[in-house]
Structure 1
Amino acid sequence: MATALSPSIACVVPTPSQLAALGTVLCLHRPGAARELGGWSSARRAEAHAGLDLDGMHESLRFFDADDACCWQLHLLPDSDFLAWERLAGNLPRCSDVAPGGIGERLWRGLAQRIRGLAQRIRGGAWEASVLRFQAVPAALEEGGPMLVASLGTLSPLGIDCARRIARGNGIAPSSSLDDCCCRRAAAAASIASPDAYRHPIPLS
């Protein structure tokens, strides 16, 4: 379980309560000691992002630090609370890479995305990934607002496929924490709930 205090500028990023309402999401975070919630702690602003690739439309929330570098991402999954996501995304600035164009242009955009992901893998990967559920926990008075707590989420088979696709598009290699963490355990939980479900760990790339 990971925990982080509220960012110093809470008015321009979602609150712990808003994030807790999202249900299960795919979190992309930078490698380092702070792990899953370090990016949220350093966030100074956030925006809602929509993209289109060969697999269809995908949505994310992107968080930016004091240098205006993207430091944290949350991705919508089939297992997320769609209505809570829409409420939150509707209150954030919106950014989209969906441009008009025919199938040829979309194919080129999809190829470009895969090339970027491959380049990130060659460099060792810029992101790690975890499937998480958030909770808002009251903090001590001297610590200010509520803390954000994250625990491992579970996914449906469709959610596992979606998380694998997002990870691959962001250059996350098979040996990364995503393969060892989120969906591997999610698949194990699914197999316990249903004997006919996935019986073995699911590779995510």
Structure 2
Amino acid sequence: MAQIVANAAAHRGAALPQPRQLAELGTVLCMYRPQRGSELAGWTQAVRAECRTGMDSDGPYESLRFFDCHGRCCWRLFLLPDSDFLAWDILVAQLPARAEEEGAQGGVTERLWRRLAGRLGGGDWRLCALRLHALPQSGWTAALAASPAPVSAVGVAIARRIARQEGAVGEVRLDDCCCAGAAVATGLSPTGGSEVPLVRL
């Protein structure tokens, strides 16, 4: 079931992507704080966004970071192999870009410390794969809706890597091949159930 959230900052001319631009991204990995609400709660608080790029031992990664009026990161979207790369490139070309600070990801000790500090401060992050949808609204505001999206096996590997880097937890639905997708569409799955397999991150 899709969730629908309108962003009040979007009609104030804030430096934010439009819901239509986010919907064009296809499947993305969403990082959010569940204590603040649903997966789209960060979108409602955001007043600006920027693109972040970085490199770790597994290769490059890209995300969109959204910030609230206090300058705190309140929502993140990550590029996945399942995303629309052209739409992503068009969007990030319109946003301020920033490279991750060297050593920002840190080693194992740094990641564990960030995870512990986040939990003690009530700042746990969760991850899920979503497809975003733009819904027309009256006037000049727009609403953003989201629905869960399955990801490829490669997408699951990337999601696990991001979860490890960010000290976040979550789960994604695996859509590992066209055969599995066809089985789910007919009400069957390779394991005999009717659901797409859920993978914990």
Compute the TM-score of the two structures, normalised by the length of structure 1.
0.79
Structure 2 letter corresponding to 1:90 = A
Answering whether residue 23 of structure 2 is matched by residue 26 of structure 1, we say no
Structure 2: 5+ residue stretches without partners: 184-188, 192-196
User: How far apart are the structure 1 equivalents of 2:179 and 2:198?
Assistant: 10
Q: In the TM superposition, what are the counterparts of 1:160-199 in structure 2 within 5 Å?
A: 160-173=156-169, 178-179=170-171, 183=172, 185-187=173-175, 192-193=180-181
- C-alpha contact 1:6 1:147 (8 A) present in aligned 2: yes
Q: How many residues align?
A: 184
- What amino acid maps onto 1:50 in structure 2? T
The structure richer in strand per residue is 2
1:20, 1:136 within 8 Å by CA — same for their partners in 2?
A: yes
Q: CA RMSD in A?
A: 2.6
The answer as to 2:135 corresponding to 1:147 is no
Residue in structure 2 matched with residue 129 of structure 1 by the alignment = 127
Report SS of the residue matched to 2:34: coil
* Counterpart Cα distance in 1 of 2:35 and 2:177: 27
Q: 1:158 to 1:33 in 2, by over 3 A?
A: same
Partners of 2:27 and 2:131 within 8 A in 1: yes
- 1:120 aligned partner: 114
Q: Is the 8 A contact 2:152 2:176 kept in 1?
A: no
Q: Secondary structure at the match of 1:112?
A: coil
Q: Distance in 1 between matches of 2:15 and 2:152?
A: 32
Gap regions ≥5 residues in structure 1: 100-108
Aligned 1:98-109 pairs, distance under 5 A: 109=103
Cα deviation for residue 189 of structure 1 reads 8.9
- The 3 A distance-change label for structure 1 pair 29 and 140 is same
The 2-side partners of 1:128 and 1:190 are apart by 28
Counterpart CA distance in 2 for 1:191 and 1:110 is 40
CA contact (8 A) 1:13 1:45 kept: yes
Name the structure with the higher helix share: 1
User: Aligned pair in 2 of structure 1 residues 191, 116: CA closer, same or farther (>3 Å)?
Assistant: farther
1:57 aligned partner: 60
The aligned runs of 1:51-90 (5 Å cut-off) are 51-90=54-93
Q: 1:165 to 1:74 in 2, by over 3 A?
A: same
- 1:82-123: CA deviations, max 9, x gaps? 000000000000100276xxxxxxxxx387154332123324
Structure 1 moving runs of 4+ over 6 Å:
188-191
State the distance in 1 between where 2:36 and 2:77 align: 19
